[in-house]
Structure 1
Amino acid sequence: MKRLLLILLLPVVVIGLWRWLADPRDTALPFGTDDLSSVQAELAELSAEERQLVEDYVRRSRGDVLPQEWADPDEPLTARTFAQAIELERAYRVRMADQQLRSDALANERDAAWAPLRAIAKVELVRAEVLSPEALAARRGESAGASRASHPVFIVRVRVQNTSDETIELLQGSLKARDSEAYLPLDLCWVDRQSSLRSGSVEEFDCARLNQAASEQATAFANGAPGRFEVRWEPARIKLGSGRELRGP
């Protein structure tokens, strides 16, 4: 009877021992999906750092698994297990941190080159809106039928100030919004002012692309997205009354 009981309990003991000894990092990732609900128990056995690495990798790969020969050498998505995902995501973070350092260094160089131009002309955003064709026509003092737009339009109000002690005869540059959720910035306005702006003078005007419907990015900016966007004035060219001319990077 005891022998029979031992025989019956042996598989249970073996399975329990195997689970106790098994490394959760050997767990296979779900294939073709970023849904990790099927491996939540195994995820819970990882440290908080490793769990986050796995979750970030799967979110980035969306469950895709590429053969080694097809994978991007700089950003391979070849992981099949937690351990491989942890290794690849750590390498990805190191690479992204290095790229950010180089990007920040380049941005600092460009800011230094822009500084003399920014000291002469201050350009800033007053407001940003997405207007219907009817609202845009009313804003411009036109009848609804006369509006050139047939779609919602992104429109920004821009303020320009001459902060120098000379008259500005020409001012060109771009007002942009860096987007933390997109590679490319949002173009707010290309400033191309070719009339005199005396020292200390301030002027405002609207910028809009009437032939383009407001994008999702522009709509998000107009609706307000705290922490997502950073507005930047990137002057390209300034010509002063004295004949002096400055150009941006």
Structure 2
Amino acid sequence: MKRLLLILLLPVLVIGLWRWLADPRDTALPFGTDDLSSVQAELAELSAEERQLVEDYVRRSRGDVLPQEWADPDEPLTARTFAQAIELERAYRVRMADQQVRSDALANQRDAAWAPLRAIAKVELVRAEVLSPEALAARRGESAGAARASHPVFIVRVRVQNTSDEIIELLQGSLKARDSEAYLPLDLCWVDRQSSLRSGSVEEFDCARLNQAASEQATAFANGAPGRFEVRWEPSKIKLGSGRELRGP
């Protein structure tokens, strides 16, 4: 009887021992999806750092698995297991950190080149909104039937100030919002002012693209997204009353 019981329990013991000895890093990633619910138990066995690496990799790859010969050498999405995902995501983070260092150095150089122009003209955002065609028409003093847009429009209010001791005769540049969740920044307003602005003078005006519907990025900016966006004034050209002309990078 004891022998029979031992024979019956042996497979259970073997399976239990195998599970105890198994490395969760060998777990196969779900294919074709970024849903990790089917491997939550195995994820829980990883350290917090490794679990985050796997989750970030799957989010980035969206569950795609490319053959080695088709993969981008700089950003291969070839992982089939947790271990491979951890290795690739670590390498990706190192590469991104290196790129960020170079990007920050370039940004510092450009900021240094912009500094003399920013010292002359201050351009800042007053507010940003997404308006319905009817609300936009009302804002512009038009009847609803005369609305020039048939879709929600992203509109920003911009303030320009001459902070120099001279008259500004021409001012050009771009007001942008860097987006931590997107590669490209959000264009807020192209400033092209070609009339005199006296020292200390302040003016405000609206910027809107009436022929474009407000994008998801613009809507997120208008709704407020703490920590996501950074507004930057990037002047390209200033001409002063003295005839002096300054250009940005």
TM-score range, shorter chain: over 0.9
Q: CA deviation at 1:85?
A: 0.6
Q: CA deviation at 1:4?
A: 2.3
Once the two structures are superposed, residues 6-65 of structure 1 have per-residue CA deviations (whole angstroms, 9 ceiling, x without a partner) of: 222221221121111111111111111111111111111111111111111111111111
Distance 1:200 1:243 in 2: 19
Q: CA deviation at 1:144?
A: 1.9
Distance 1:62 1:228 in 2: 22
Q: CA deviation at 1:146?
A: 2.1
Q: CA deviation at 1:218?
A: 1.0
Distance 2:232 2:220 in 1: 17
Distance 1:136 1:6 in 2: 81
Q: CA deviation at 1:118?
A: 0.0
Who is 1:124 aligned against? 124
Who is 1:203 aligned against? 203
Q: CA deviation at 1:93?
A: 0.6
Residue pairs, 1:1-249, within 5 angstroms: 1-249=1-249
Distance 1:16 1:95 in 2: 40
Once the two structures are superposed, residues 106-131 of structure 1 have per-residue CA deviations (whole angstroms, 9 ceiling, x without a partner) of: 11110000000000000001111111
Per mean C-alpha deviation after superposition, the further-off stretch among 223-232 and 163-172 is 223-232
Name stretches of at least 5 consecutive residues in structure 2 with no aligned partner: none
Distance 2:145 2:41 in 1: 62
Q: CA deviation at 1:189?
A: 0.6
Q: CA deviation at 1:145?
A: 2.0
TM-score by length of 2: 0.97
Q: Secondary structure of 1:86's match?
A: helix
Give every structure 1 segment of 4 or more consecutive aligned residues whose post-TM-superposition deviation is greater than 4 Å.
Answer: none
Q: CA deviation at 1:177?
A: 0.7
Distance 1:184 1:86 in 2: 28
The percent identity for this pair of structures is 97
Q: CA deviation at 1:198?
A: 0.6
Distance 1:232 1:55 in 2: 32
Name stretches of at least 5 consecutive residues in structure 1 with no aligned partner: none
Per mean C-alpha deviation after superposition, the further-off stretch among 56-65 and 167-176 is 56-65
Q: CA deviation at 1:149?
A: 1.4
Q: CA deviation at 1:188?
A: 0.7
Distance 1:236 1:121 in 2: 11
RMSD: 1.0
Per mean C-alpha deviation after superposition, the further-off stretch among 10-19 and 174-183 is 10-19
Once the two structures are superposed, residues 150-202 of structure 1 have per-residue CA deviations (whole angstroms, 9 ceiling, x without a partner) of: 22111111100000000000000000111111111111110000111111111
Distance 1:134 1:44 in 2: 52
Once the two structures are superposed, residues 54-89 of structure 1 have per-residue CA deviations (whole angstroms, 9 ceiling, x without a partner) of: 111111111111111111111111111111111001
Distance 1:62 1:138 in 2: 44
Distance 1:17 1:146 in 2: 76
Distance 2:18 2:137 in 1: 73
Distance 2:132 2:5 in 1: 79
